[in-house]
Structure 1
Amino acid sequence: MTYHFSKTVDMPFDAAVTAVTAALQKHGFGVLTQIDVKETLGKKIGVDFRPYLILGACNPKLAYEALTLEDKIGTMLPCNVVVQQHDPGVVEISAVDPVASMASIENPGLGAVAGKVRELLRQVVADVA
């Protein structure tokens, strides 16, 4: 089982970030955190890394449902979506597969919530064109 689903798009990095953010919103997610890996690695260890952004996405209704089923599930929230540039104009969008990441938790109710989130995140990735 893979832990993510991804696709590559031909667009500028900033346009891809805008498209991913819009797709997340369309499917009920907000972006709680945004980590600019390129900037952070440059400041912290002086390396020049490719444009790489981690978006911490959350669907409040499904997060609430998961939290009521498992009080420590917050250790796995929010769901990360990565936007990274491989070449100029070639950007990969990747989203965590919550079913894979929560497979070790023996709670059928939580598995059902993870399945809902999985389908929404697949739609988010598919929507970016």
Structure 2
Amino acid sequence: MTSTHHLTLDLPYAQAVESVRAALSEQGFGIITEIDMRASLEKKLDAAAAEEVGDYVILGACNPGLARRALAAEPQLGVLLPCNVIVRGGGDGVHSIVDAMDPKVMVQLSESDDVREVADDADVRVRAALASLSHPG
């Protein structure tokens, strides 16, 4: 099992970020955290470090119903929440790369059937969001 689902989009970075937000929203995920890595590295280190990383955002996606079920089954699973989705520029200005945490990582830390059900449900939704980006319309 890999720890992420990966996708390359034929979209420039800013458009890819908005498309990913919309796709996740359609699957019941809200963005509860957002980290602009370029801005963070420029502030904490310098412009060269920011430029090295380039356009890169970490979106903390959360489906409240799924989070509630996961935490009820295993409260310590909060260390894996929210489900991080990264969007980064492809380096050419016309492509972007999306990586989403595989929710089934939760199952590696718990033998609970309830956690397995939540992870399976979340995985279906994350995959559906990414598929909608691959095949819009």
Greater strand share, 1 or 2? 1
Match of residue 76 from structure 2: 72
Distance in 2, matches of 1:124 and 1:31, equals 14
Distance in 2, matches of 1:53 and 1:97, equals 17
CA RMSD of aligned residues (A): 1.1
Distance in 2, matches of 1:2 and 1:59, equals 22
User: Is the CA contact (8 Å cut-off) linking 1:3 and 1:101 kept in structure 2?
Assistant: no
User: Is the CA contact (8 Å cut-off) linking 2:69 and 2:118 kept in structure 1?
Assistant: yes
Aligned residues: 129
**TM-score, L = length of structure 2:** 0.89
Residues 98 and 123 of structure 1: CA distance in aligned 2, closer, same or farther (over 3 Å): same
Per-residue deviation at 1:101?
4.3
Distance in 1, matches of 2:77 and 2:3, equals 17
Per-residue deviation at 1:27?
0.5
Match of residue 84 from structure 1: 88
Match of residue 63 from structure 1: 67
Q: Which runs of at least 4 in structure 1 moved beyond 2 Å after TM superposition?
A: none
**TM-score, L = length of structure 1:** 0.94
Unaligned runs of 5+ in 1: none
User: Is the CA contact (8 Å cut-off) linking 1:94 and 1:125 kept in structure 2?
Assistant: no
User: Is the CA contact (8 Å cut-off) linking 2:77 and 2:106 kept in structure 1?
Assistant: no
Deviations 1:55-102 (A, max 9, x none): 000001111111111112111100001101122111011110011244
Q: Map of 1:1-129 to 2, 5 A cutoff?
A: 1-46=1-46, 47=49, 48=51, 49-87=53-91, 88-129=93-134
Greater helix share, 1 or 2? 2
